[in-house]
Amino acid sequence: MQRYFIEETQLQNDLVSITGDDAHHIANVMRMKQDQEIICTVPGSSTVRCTLTNISSEQITAAVVEYVENTNELPISITIASGLPKGDKLELIIQKGTELGASGFLPFAAARSIVKLDDKKASKKVDRWQKIAKEAAEQSYRFIVPTVEQPASFQQLLNSIQYYDACIVAYEESAKTGESAGLVQTFQSLKEGSRLLVVFGPEGGLSEKEVNQLEEKGAKLCGLGPRILRTETAPFYVLAAASFHFELMG
């Protein structure tokens, strides 16, 4: 069944009202007809299954059939902090990371980031990234749309660590020396509802200075197995491992 995210104000008296891109998608792309069903989620609030009662390209109305329980979110909230990578790698991280359950994405300018974004470019990028997150969230039946933050400086990243229950750094050198207990121990230390920040370097990795500064703020260095993962692959590992640990082993 097609799924759409809607605003709180679009769901009133058990009626859903949809306009804009989503109305176009329902009427013209999916060519849906009266009495067909869709799922609408007010992020973080409620999800309803509903029947289309009125369809035009400008305005869709749907009647709520039932309120659906939301159980699709990871028990812990994971924010992926990525040192700005080259090209469109962050798009891949956001799309697949959203499918795999990330709560948010925090791009930051790492010492070895080659890409530099001025404020104007950054805002345009964030709009695009947020759209990718929304589409992936719909596709993967998420209950929330992960937030994509404005690219931060490394100092801002350091300052944000205090707002999380734990912070880990995916560190290539840890992987090479066979560090294997950190991720397991971190997961075991977190309880439902905890907030975890995971920091990944850009292509060249984090600098030693950056790693030291993160450690001073309480971040723990973790290996992700013995194989060297690319900067865009490492977040998938952490998110899948978290799902395996919290949702399958539960």
Instruction: Give the shortest CB-220-to-its own copies separation in angstroms.
Output: 14
Contact (CB, 8 A) for 205 and 112: yes
Instruction: Give the shortest CB-202-to-its own copies separation in angstroms.
Output: 15
Contact (CB, 8 A) for 186 and 222: yes
The nearer residue to its own copies, 10 or 243, going by C-beta atoms, is 243
Q: How far apart are CA 95 and CA 59, in angstroms?
A: 28
The nearer residue to its own copies, 125 or 142, going by C-beta atoms, is 142
The nearer residue to its own copies, 157 or 183, going by C-beta atoms, is 183
Contacts 24+ apart (CB under 8 A), 44-52: 44/143, 44/144, 45/8, 46/11, 46/70, 47/143, 48/11, 48/16, 49/1, 50/16, 52/26
The nearer residue to its own copies, 134 or 142, going by C-beta atoms, is 142
Instruction: Give the shortest CB-71-to-its own copies separation in angstroms.
Output: 6
Instruction: Give the shortest CB-187-to-its own copies separation in angstroms.
Output: 9
The nearer residue to its own copies, 35 or 249, going by C-beta atoms, is 249
- Which residues would be at the binding site for its own copies (CB under 8 A)? 71-72, 96, 99-101, 139-142, 178, 180-181, 183-184, 223-230, 233, 236-241, 243-245, 247-250
The nearer residue to its own copies, 160 or 174, going by C-beta atoms, is 174
Instruction: Give the shortest CB-7-to-its own copies separation in angstroms.
Output: 22
Instruction: Give the shortest CB-138-to-its own copies separation in angstroms.
Output: 10
Which of 198, 202, 190, 228 has its CA nearest to residue 214? 198
Q: How far apart are CA 11 and CA 49, in angstroms?
A: 12
For residue 158, what are its two tokens?
């350091």
Give buried/exposed letters for 56-77 (b at 16+ CB in 10 A, else e): eeeebbbebeeeeebeeebbbb
